[in-house]
Amino acid sequence: MPHADRDPANRRSREDDARPSPETPKQRQSVFARFITPRGGENVDALGVPVRFHYRLLAMFAVGVALMPLVFSVEPNADELRNPLTRSLCLGGLIFAPVILAVGKRTGYVFKDWIFQGALFFALAGTFLSNLVTPHAIAPYMPLYILAPVGAAFYLPARKMFPLAIASAAAIMYTSSIVDEPNAMLRGMVLVIVAVCGAGLAAGLKAQLTRAIEHNREISERDALTGAHNVRRFEWRLADEIARARRGGEGFALVMFDLDNFKQVNDSFSHSVGDEVLIATAEAVYSTLLPPDLLVRRGGDEFAAILPVAPGRDVQDTVELACKRIERARRQICPELTPFASAGWVNHEPFENAERLIERTDAALHEAKANAPERRGYVSPAVRAGATEASSERGNVVDLRRLPGESAELRDNPIRGLIAVCMRTSAVVIAATSLVVSAMMLAGKTSFEISAAGVAVLAGWTLVMAPASVWLARRHRRPKWAKHVLFAAVFALIAAGCAVIGDAAPTLIDLFIFACLLTVALLPFQQAIYYISVGVVLYGVFLYSSDFPFAEIRLTVATMIVFLASIVLTVTRHHTILAAREKAQLARTDALTSLPNTRRLRDRLNDEIQRCAVTGDDLALLMLDLDDFKSVNDHYSHSLGDKVLVAVADAIREVCRHADMPARRGGDEFALVMTDAGANEATVAGNRIADAIRAVREKMVPEINPNASIGWAVWHEGESVDDLIAQADVALHERKVESHRVRPRYADAG
């Protein structure tokens, strides 16, 4: 059932509840944090950044660009900056800032492509017109052309980004052609490279971060064992279907499946065989569904399916076919036991809420189980007919565990995926700049000449840097120092190029802007600020050493570009890492009890085994199984069974040590990882947990056997995670066989 307290975001541990908080969250937040933190119900972009932040950033950019000519017009040699047309354009920029804020507020800060596309075109047109009316002061403002394609790549889809990128490149080249300065065309071509590669970097950044969030979101909504969706996704989808039905859309049916006598599989064989049955069941049901349908594992041996209305579909036929395929799948794994499944389904009624719908479906399932004839030993005619049909239908099964994506690896830090993008982009910038400079020199379009030694140094450095960047981009594992070596080499290569060409250094200094953006994309701002400072200082040194006109304006423009881009990249990076880690945490958390799930259990065991292999410490694994829990669902309801599971999880969490990790394996099965614990500690913990579980179950369902079977195993050197789990499963199985329906004090099979 939907319940807010079962959401990990709304459930805190007892330690967190008991820990006093000396400050309120509002007091702890800085001004900048409040500026970028989403408010309640506020619109955010795909990466979790408030849209309000983007509107304010556009306004800040407009004000900064408009104020610069006004500020620098007080200089004696700035006559062109004081003409009426220039000041009119500056006034237009100042008016644009409150207009864009008003539009954002009027639309509720909704992310509209046309608003941002129009704003970027306006900025591009304003920069171009300003350059036309100030022909002798064009060069200082040319770096502003970088922002249009970079902003378009970050804010707009690819099809809307290309017009802005092409317009920016055309404006750069045309502006360079009317400037009566040496090396103007080369400077324009380098600026085009920076703009295009900067846009590529921004697009790659956005794509990688979005993909990481979507990847983790998909995994967080799937059951770790079967690959079917979990209760978290079930609640969201059910709410969407109900809302669609209330808007006048087509209805839907809700189906519940329950495997008959599944408990005997675990008791008679092992939990590993039980897992195989659950996986085969999920695949069998999924093979009968249509693409719009949703398959969910509610927990244990209980599955659900949401079936929207479809032309020509008969829900009863679909349910019968699913039960038939479940029977065949179960017979292939453990034919000795009852292979059937009970199913109940209802159609959603108008104005019915989710809670009532689930209650009616549970009641239908309960009735189906109660009215089912004794089917033990029954062999269906379809199965007796032969294995050919069964094999053909099994061929339609999809491996649900491979659906989340190309890899099941959780991406706690999606920035790792950006390293390849940044290194490839760096290689393109290095190679393209080298080719452009060489071509312009050979064509005699430059005012400088490079000595043979300088050419050899730059060529050698380029030939090493570009392939090295591509090689590092292809490596799955990179040393931590690889990024810093790359950044240092890029800055050094740009500085060497500027030093070699002497007074023509302003031709290449815009490459420092790209280098600064590269560091912000990959490093936390606390580390990137050092590289940014170095880049800005080198930019100013080479600019002033070449007697560049309006050098202070050019330096201010470049600093503003780096500042604005750094804000966007830093905020996006911060929000994306938080979102990705939140999804990764959900993917490792059981949706019902908020305990770690099977995925987190295996990760923790792997970490502890590696640690114990080095330190020689002890490690124990307890497996817990609630006796006769199936009777709770059969005689009461699955909703009450869920409440019992939540209460049992809380009881285990309450009595275990702080260093131990309880987990839910699925259904009524739990586990406990005990660090620095051997046989004696596992025995004591087993007794304590058994007492706590008994007290909880006697209070909630006193008519049902309240005991729990507990088995444990101690890790020995050379054993893997699978070996330890298998030993604990065997211990649990032996304990259940030895003392069935008798309250165990502890499992001594370890």
Report pLDDT for 323.
92
Closest residue by Cα to residue 18 from 654, 450, 641: 654
C-beta pairs of 541-549 under 8 Å, 24+ apart in sequence: 542/495, 542/498, 542/499, 542/505, 542/506, 542/509, 543/505, 543/506, 543/509, 545/503, 545/505, 546/502, 546/503, 546/504, 546/505, 546/506, 547/503, 548/139, 548/506, 549/136, 549/137, 549/139, 549/140
- What share of the chain has pLDDT > 90, as a percent? 12
* Average pLDDT score over residue span 676-704: 89
Rounded-to-integer distance, Cα 498 and Cα 374, Å: 87
Among the residue ranges 44-48, 219-223, 351-355, the one predicted with the least confidence is 44-48
Report pLDDT for 589.
82
Global pTM exceeds 0.75: no
* Average pLDDT score over residue span 181-190: 82
Q: Which of 72-86, 98-112, 629-643 has the highest mean pLDDT?
A: 98-112
Among the residue ranges 39-43, 230-234, 394-398, the one predicted with the least confidence is 394-398
Among the residue ranges 165-169, 226-230, 314-318, 398-402, the one predicted with the least confidence is 398-402
Report pLDDT for 321.
92
Helices (H), 73-181: 84-106, 113-133, 147-155, 158-177
Is pLDDT above 70 for 740? no
Report pLDDT for 461.
64
For residues 512, 516, 519, 520, the Cα torsion angle rounded to the nearest 10 degrees is: -170
Region of 300 (left: φ > 0; alpha: ψ -120 to 50; beta: rest) is left
* Average pLDDT score over residue span 637-647: 84
CB 176 within 8 A of CB 185: yes
Closest residue by Cα to residue 348 from 237, 188, 451, 496: 237
Q: Return the higher-pLDDT residue of 577 and 607.
A: 607
Q: H helices then E strands: how many in the chain?
A: 27, 8
* Average pLDDT score over residue span 592-615: 87
Is pLDDT above 70 for 408? no
Task: Tell me how far apart the 2 most distant CA atoms of the chain are, in Å.
Answer: 102
Task: Give me the phi and psi of 567, to 5 degrees please.
Answer: -60, -50
Q: Return the higher-pLDDT residue of 193 and 405.
A: 193
Rounded-to-integer distance, Cα 390 and Cα 328, Å: 7
Report pLDDT for 671.
92
User: Kind of pairing, strands 661-666 and 669-675?
Assistant: antiparallel
Is pLDDT above 70 for 654? yes
Report pLDDT for 177.
81
Report pLDDT for 326.
92
Closest residue by Cα to residue 66 from 141, 133, 138: 141
Is pLDDT above 50 for 376? no
Is pLDDT above 70 for 154? yes
Closest residue by Cα to residue 590 from 357, 259, 300: 300
Q: Which of 205-214, 242-251, 369-378 has the highest mean pLDDT?
A: 242-251
Helices (H), 372-451: 381-384, 387-394, 418-442
pLDDT band at 392 (very low <50, low <70, confident <90, very high): very low
Query: What Å distances lie between residue 622 and 594, 604, 667, 715, CA to CA?
Result: 19, 14, 16, 11
Q: Residue 531: is it exposed, middle or buried by C-beta count within 10 angstroms (0-12/13-18/19+)? A: buried
Q: Which 3 state secondary structure label does DSSP give 229?
A: strand
Report pLDDT for 642.
85
Report pLDDT for 440.
77
Report pLDDT for 339.
85
Is pLDDT above 50 for 26? no
Report pLDDT for 256.
93
Report pLDDT for 32.
54
Q: Return the higher-pLDDT residue of 299 and 593.
A: 593
pLDDT band at 469 (very low <50, low <70, confident <90, very high): low
Region of 716 (left: φ > 0; alpha: ψ -120 to 50; beta: rest) is beta
Closest residue by Cα to residue 192 from 148, 131, 151, 258: 148
Report pLDDT for 383.
36
- Annotated domain spans of the chain: 38-217+411-584, 231-377+388-402, 598-738
Closest residue by Cα to residue 285 from 270, 264, 303: 303
CB 517 within 8 A of CB 201: yes
pLDDT band at 139 (very low <50, low <70, confident <90, very high): low
State the Cα angle at 225 between 224 and 230, rounded to 5°.
55
* Average pLDDT score over residue span 349-373: 85
Q: How many CB atoms lie within 10 A of CB 218?
A: 16
Mean pLDDT, the chain, rounded, equals 77
Is pLDDT above 70 for 385? no
Q: How many CB atoms lie within 10 A of CB 125?
A: 14
Among the residue ranges 158-172, 284-298, 385-399, the one predicted with the least confidence is 385-399
Rounded-to-integer distance, Cα 590 and Cα 649, Å: 11
498-534: per-residue pLDDT in tens? 888 877 788 888 889 888 888 887 788 888 889 999 9
Closest residue by Cα to residue 90 from 102, 103, 104, 72: 72
Task: Give me the phi and psi of 302, to 5 degrees please.
Answer: -110, 130
Report pLDDT for 605.
92
pLDDT band at 120 (very low <50, low <70, confident <90, very high): confident
- What share of the chain has pLDDT > 70, as a percent? 78
Is pLDDT above 70 for 473? no
Per the structure block, which two tokens stand in for 602?
A: 């295996």
* Average pLDDT score over residue span 550-571: 82
Domains 231-377+388-402 and 598-738 alike in fold: yes
pLDDT band at 537 (very low <50, low <70, confident <90, very high): very high
* Average pLDDT score over residue span 592-600: 85
pLDDT band at 15 (very low <50, low <70, confident <90, very high): very low
Is pLDDT above 80 for 684? yes
DSSP for 513-564 reads HHHHHHHHHHS-HHHHHHHHHHHHHHHHHHHHTTT-TTHHHHHHHHHHHHHH
pLDDT band at 335 (very low <50, low <70, confident <90, very high): confident
Is pLDDT above 60 for 17? no
- The residue written with tokens 């497996």 in the block is 623
Distance of CA 296 to the CA centre of its chain: 21
- Classify domain 231-377+388-402 at the CATH topology level: Alpha-Beta Plaits (3.30.70)
Q: Return the higher-pLDDT residue of 121 and 38.
A: 121
Q: What is the DSSP letter of 305?
A: E
Per the structure block, which two tokens stand in for 643?
A: 């409440």
* Average pLDDT score over residue span 470-491: 72
Closest residue by Cα to residue 219 from 60, 351, 412, 374: 412
Report pLDDT for 424.
75
Q: Return the higher-pLDDT residue of 312 and 540.
A: 540
Among the residue ranges 150-164, 671-685, 709-723, the one predicted with the least confidence is 150-164
Rounded-to-integer distance, Cα 612 and Cα 738, Å: 32
* Average pLDDT score over residue span 28-57: 68
Q: Return the higher-pLDDT residue of 271 and 105.
A: 105
Report pLDDT for 255.
94
Rounded-to-integer distance, Cα 492 and Cα 486, Å: 10
CATH 3.30.70.270, applies to 598-738: yes
Q: Which 3 state secondary structure label does DSSP give 678?
A: coil
Task: Give me the phi and psi of 638, to 5 degrees please.
Answer: -70, -25
Q: Which of 12-21, 170-179, 529-538 has the highest mean pLDDT?
A: 529-538
Report pLDDT for 404.
41
Is pLDDT above 60 for 128? yes
